[in-house]
């Protein structure tokens, strides 16, 4: 199976060498990598130019950073890489540049995809460093495919309509995959080191956007509150509950267009409620 890897980059110079080295030491080599730099002001572009002469690494370098919000920005950068590629591929990966992949990462996800044609998405688990120990980045369910390490079967990617340029895209994609009958698989033993914890670059302007994402996914108020409370507990940042609820109500007040249909929204709500009931023993 041929793999296309697209990596959005913005001021990741401190992490790029670790990421590129982990890519270059993969046991599975039938892949091509496109790094799309969105106007970095550190030495990221210089480093990418040096590495572009090495195998399977192509670069797209923008002079100025795009102006956009979290979620939307990274997906727009991702698509600049995707539209530049014209060869056929079987798997598309959207990776972040602040990762260290185990050397068998690509090999394992290919094995998983080959094992069952109904599998549409595969990923490992993200681990962050706390003092001298690498621990699971506990901000989502272990069955969820995380945004920095997404891998899609091409047919699944096309059927879900690609990725939404909005915060929450990395929840919508797997929900739509399940809606269309695809299986989403995570491999617990496949540990990926995440060098920059999720949300580290978010600023005060983005704190309401997760609530907006819940509105666009048609969660409803009660499910939004429960999800916000869970995320706040995991992050130990309880102000997030108020922030996410305010974001939801602001989106409702603005009458923003949902990112999913009514039918898809019902599927998402039922899936979430069934997950809650299962954890409560019902």
Residues 97 and 131 in one domain: yes
Which regions in the chain score pLDDT beneath 70? Answer: 54-56, 199-205
The confidence score (pLDDT) of residue 152 equals 98
| pLDDT tens profile 169-210 | 999 999 999 999 999 999 999 999 999 877 555 555 577 888
Residues 176 and 213 in one domain: no
Among 166, 194, 222, the domain-final residue is 194
Beta bridge partners of 60: 36
Residues 31 and 130 in one domain: yes
The confidence score (pLDDT) of residue 200 equals 53
Q: What is the Cα–Cα distance from 51 to 61, expressed in whole angstroms? A: 13
- Whether 263 is covered by a domain: the verdict is yes
The confidence score (pLDDT) of residue 199 equals 59
Residues of the domain holding 68 = 3-194
Q: What is the Cα–Cα distance from 227 to 60, expressed in whole angstroms? A: 37
Residues 178 and 214 in one domain: no
The confidence score (pLDDT) of residue 92 equals 98
- Give the predicted TM-score (pTM) of the model: 0.92
The confidence score (pLDDT) of residue 6 equals 97
The confidence score (pLDDT) of residue 51 equals 87
Residues 122 and 164 in one domain: yes
Domain count for the chain, please give it. 2
Reduced to 3 states (helix: H, G, I; strand: E, B; else coil), residue 50 is helix
């Amino acid at each position: 199976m041929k793999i296309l890897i697209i990596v959005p980059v913005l001021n990741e110079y401190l992490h790029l060498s670790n990421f590129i080295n982990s890519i270059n030491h993969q046991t599975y080599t039938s892949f091509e990598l496109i790094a799309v730099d969105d106007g970095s002001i550190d030495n990221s572009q210089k480093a990418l130019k040096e590495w572009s002469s090495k195998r399977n690494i192509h670069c797209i370098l923008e002079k100025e950073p795009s102006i956009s919000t979290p979620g939307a920005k990274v997906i727009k950068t991702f698509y600049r890489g995707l539209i530049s590629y014209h060869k056929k591929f079987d798997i598309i990966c959207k990776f972040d540049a602040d990762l260290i992949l185990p050397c068998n990462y690509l090999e394992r996800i290919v094995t998983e995809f080959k094992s069952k044609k109904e599998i549409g998405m595969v990923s490992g688990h993200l681990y962050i460093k706390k003092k001298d120990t690498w621990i699971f980045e506990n901000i989502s369910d272990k069955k969820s495919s995380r945004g920095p390490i997404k891998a899609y079967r091409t047919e699944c990617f096309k059927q879900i309509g690609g990725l939404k340029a909005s915060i929450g895209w990395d929840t919508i994609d797997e929900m739509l995959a399940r809606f269309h009958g695809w299986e989403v698989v995570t491999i617990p033993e496949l540990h990926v080191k995440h060098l920059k914890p999720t949300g580290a670059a978010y600023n005060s302007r983005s704190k309401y956007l997760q609530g907006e994402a819940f509105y666009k996914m048609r969660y409803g108020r009660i499910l939004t509150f429960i999800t916000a409370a869970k995320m706040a507990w995991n992050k130990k940042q309880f102000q997030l509950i108020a922030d996410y609820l305010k974001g939801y109500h602001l989106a409702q007040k603005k009458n923003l267009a949902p990112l999913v249909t009514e039918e898809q929204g019902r599927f998402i709500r039922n899936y979430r409620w069934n997950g809650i009931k299962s954890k409560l023993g019902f």
